[in-house]
Amino acid sequence: PLGVLPLPIAWVAWVALTWGLWCWVGIRAFPRLWPLVLAYPGALIAAGHAQTGLLTGALLVLAAHELSRRPRIAGVAIGALVIKPHLAVLAPFWLAAGGRWRAFAAAGLTAAGLLAAAWLTFGTATMLAYTDSWAASRQLVERLDPAFMLRMSTAFAQLRLLMGDGIALAGAGLSAALALAVALTGWRRFSGDTSAVAAAVLAATALASPYLFSYDLPFLLFPTLWLVEQGRRHGFRPFEKLALVGLYFAPFALRAAALPLGLNLMPLASAVLVWLVWSRGGREPDARSEG
């Protein structure tokens, strides 16, 4: 429906709608930290681009928050990520490793249902024509435009820009393997604490795909504020407060610094976030801990 509106009006309507949804989900997950949700810089860059990052971020945070309470709702949220499947690439492993089969089934049915609805609405020709966009995406990546690569938040993009295709592919493989290991072993690491595992998987999601932009990162709110809650409950570790301040601002600040520096450091920040969440494992969960 936004397509029939003038661009400025459609832009404002889309951002207002998706930012409102993202804030609602974020505040449900972290009601005591609501000012940090409203002010999260990672949401500002998504709003500025009028991209889908606020919507996909809301879906991922909703899935993480609801998995232990309403697994079918969590599965529906994950299935809706069929609009950007590289953001849900860890979800099947995450859910299967934890035996969350109701969520797993709901995700699959939702994804299939949305694809069927699109086919029935727009027809076979439109569905087949979608493959034409793959060539455009491939050309963008193969062109090796520094401005384009510096807007990406992946190890693949930065290594390809600096060291060439071979090193970039190896770095992307290592990054994806690390993310997959988190999804597969997180349940054991955190003794089945659903919120902790969700924080680890969402943090690892930023490392899982070679194709990711800064405006896709609002979902990092969940692992960042999960760490804040853990610090408030159990005490902050040395330098953790400083690290969390940096990670809170990282999606916006590192994107702003990328072009002047000639390097986007967001993959490094994502790796630090994964490590901080992972290193909180192996402890007795607090009685007040969700999940």
Per-residue pLDDT at 79 exceeds 50: yes
What phi and psi, each to the nearest 5 degrees, are found at residue 237?
-80, 165
Number of Cβ atoms within 10 Å of the Cβ of 200 = 30
With a cut of 70, say whether residue 100 has pLDDT above it: yes
Residue 165 token pair: 């295709």
| Single-letter code of the amino acid located at 75 | G
Looking at residue 9, what is its pLDDT? Answer: 94
DSSP letter for 191, please.
T
Q: What is the pLDDT of residue 280?
A: 92
pLDDT band at 143 (very low <50, low <70, confident <90, very high): confident
Confidence at residue 142, expressed as pLDDT on a 0 to 100 scale: 79
Find all residues with CB under 8 Å of 289, minimum gap 6, and list them.
193, 195, 196, 233
To which residue do tokens 């801990």 refer?
A: 289
> What percent of the chain shows pLDDT beyond 70?
97
Q: 148 is written with which tokens?
A: 């384009």
* CA-based radius of gyration for the chain: 19
The alpha helices in the chain, defined as continuous H runs, are 7-29, 34-38, 41-49, 53-66, 71-79, 91-97, 101-122, 124-129, 132-142, 146-150, 155-163, 165-189, 194-208, 221-234, 240-261, 266-278
* Structural contact between residues 251 and 203, judged by C-beta atoms closer than 8 angstroms: no
Q: How confident is the model over 22-57, as pLDDT tens digits?
A: 999 999 999 999 999 999 999 988 888 888 999 999
